[in-house]
Amino acid sequence: MMKVAIVGTGYVGLPTGVGLAELGNKVVCVDKIEDKINRLNRGELTLYEDGLEELFKKNVAAGMLSFTTDMETAVKDADIVMLAVGTPPHPLTKEADLKYIYAAAAELAPFLTGYTVVATKSTVPVGTGDEVEEIVRKNNSKADFDVVSLPEFLREGFAIHDFFNPDRIVIGAESDKARNMLLELYRPFAGKCEFLCVKRRSSETIKYASNAFLAMKIHYINEMADFCEKSGADIREVAKGMGLDSRIGKKFLNPGPGYGGSCFPKDTNAMAQMGKKYGTRLNLIETTIAENDARKARMGQRVIETIREHPEGKIAVLGLAFKGGTDDCRESPAIDIIKEMIRHSRNIRVYDPKALANAKAILNNTVSYAESVEEACKDAEVAVILTEWEDFRHLDLARLKKIMRCPKIVDMRNMLCGEEVVAAGFDYQCIGRK
């Protein structure tokens, strides 16, 4: 058993804390936001993640997981302190803003006792480990510690699944002592996944290079989908045929409205900025960023086109989260597409099974909000699926046909069976086939 402190209780920190407690470690999570910690201490989760609640309650009850706003309480006995605070894009430069990482490093430093590993879980630019090391040293000249890069590859919505089924664990450490301590922490996964021990700077780069590659893969399949729409091919067949080549792989070949979320947009931008900083051209990444943005605007236009004959008609939006299985709307393609549509229509009614509250905080009163698919679609001119929620796979088409003003569906997540939708009397558009 190890004592672990986790700084930051967001989408990375909280599932990681719960997961490490479940593996038998004593975990204390610390966050500056008092309201969050109060809620967690009352047994209330502060974000939605499949499977999180049960493990959270179990480990709190067992005394393996606790929450505090006090850095000293969290850090003083810890063997490992993990930094899992946000690294949002800087509003002007789009570089990763490291102010929370640096502040956390300065704040925790005085409370380190004994040998401690300070591990960065947040996605941070190359060289951040060096900076964190310097900050800790400056704030506690006697501290016995090492700074390690420990990138996190959890997907939102699948964080608990991914935590217990990692593809690889990457440890970027410059000292054997730190490396061995992390190997020990992750020993329950020995034999189940690859362990990769590398230089700290390589580890920092692996995270960005992986996310940028995945974003590029999505952009590529979206381009192929555009091509299929024009050429008469079917993207489902094309993606399947490509994915059967094990060098390409089946995953991340689903075309859609463009990628979003708290990671891909931020990390591709940060990687592009790093390329500039080091004077290397990262053209593929820069093109991916620009084309993904342009795609979202085009998708908004595509919907507007469907109401051309009745521009006052109501647009029903199904799905606001950046993908299914999460309530997160950060950089959600749905939100950007809605913003594009708002330029042409003030009659948009939106629904999402989990993300309404988060979307409201962004869209305010520019759209109206529905509590169900039916409420959103009533009298609508067109219904647009923007997030792949399982519920949307089983829409009651006969009922929708009755309540919509016009039976039209634009399915940007290719969720529905086109033949069935057309047979039910709808005009149906999807991505990557006619």
The footprint of ligand UDX (CB under 6 A) covers: 152-156, 211, 214, 218, 252-254, 256, 259-261, 263-264, 322-323, 333
Residue 79 vs 156, nearer CB to ligand UDX: 156
Burial of 140 (0-12, 13-18, 19+ CB in 10 A): middle
Measured between alpha carbons, how far is 52 from 162 in angstroms, rounded to an integer?
Answer: 12
Residue 161 vs 344, nearer CB to ligand UDX: 161
Residue 214 vs 403, nearer CB to ligand UDX: 214
Measured between alpha carbons, how far is 344 from 198 in angstroms, rounded to an integer?
Answer: 51
Measured between alpha carbons, how far is 308 from 406 in angstroms, rounded to an integer?
Answer: 13
Query: CB 120 → ligand UDX: shortest distance, Å?
Result: 14
- For the chain, helix, strand, coil in percent to 5 are 45, 15, 40
320's CB contacts (< 8 A; 6+ apart) are 329, 332, 334, 335, 338, 350, 351, 352, 355, 356, 358, 359, 386, 387
Query: CB 229 → ligand UDX: shortest distance, Å?
Result: 16
Query: CB 430 → ligand UDX: shortest distance, Å?
Result: 14
Q: Quickly count helices (H) and strands (E) in the chain.
A: 18, 14
> Alpha helix locations (H) across 10-95?
13-22, 34-41, 52-61, 71-75
Is 263 known to be catalytic?
A: yes
Measured between alpha carbons, how far is 169 from 151 in angstroms, rounded to an integer?
Answer: 8
Residue 94 vs 344, nearer CB to ligand UDX: 94
Query: CB 294 → ligand UDX: shortest distance, Å?
Result: 15
Measured between alpha carbons, how far is 250 from 244 in angstroms, rounded to an integer?
Answer: 6
Edge to edge, the sheet with strand 65-68 lists 65-68, 26-30, 3-7, 80-83, 115-120, 144-149, 168-172, 194-198
Residue 3 vs 339, nearer CB to ligand UDX: 339
Query: CB 314 → ligand UDX: shortest distance, Å?
Result: 25
Query: CB 157 → ligand UDX: shortest distance, Å?
Result: 6
Residue 152 vs 381, nearer CB to ligand UDX: 152
Beta strands in 112-265 (DSSP E): 115-120, 144-149, 168-172, 194-198
Measured between alpha carbons, how far is 320 from 370 in angstroms, rounded to an integer?
Answer: 12
Tokens of 58: 């179990």
Measured between alpha carbons, how far is 433 from 236 in angstroms, rounded to an integer?
Answer: 8
Contacts of the segment 189-194: beta carbons below 8 A, 24+ positions apart: 192/165, 193/165, 193/166, 193/167, 193/168, 193/169, 194/167, 194/168, 194/169
Query: CB 224 → ligand UDX: shortest distance, Å?
Result: 12
Residue 295 vs 314, nearer CB to ligand UDX: 295
Residue 25 vs 123, nearer CB to ligand UDX: 123
163's CB contacts (< 8 A; 6+ apart) are 15, 16, 19, 154
Catalytic residue selected from 228, 263, 377, 430? 263
Residues labelled catalytic: 263
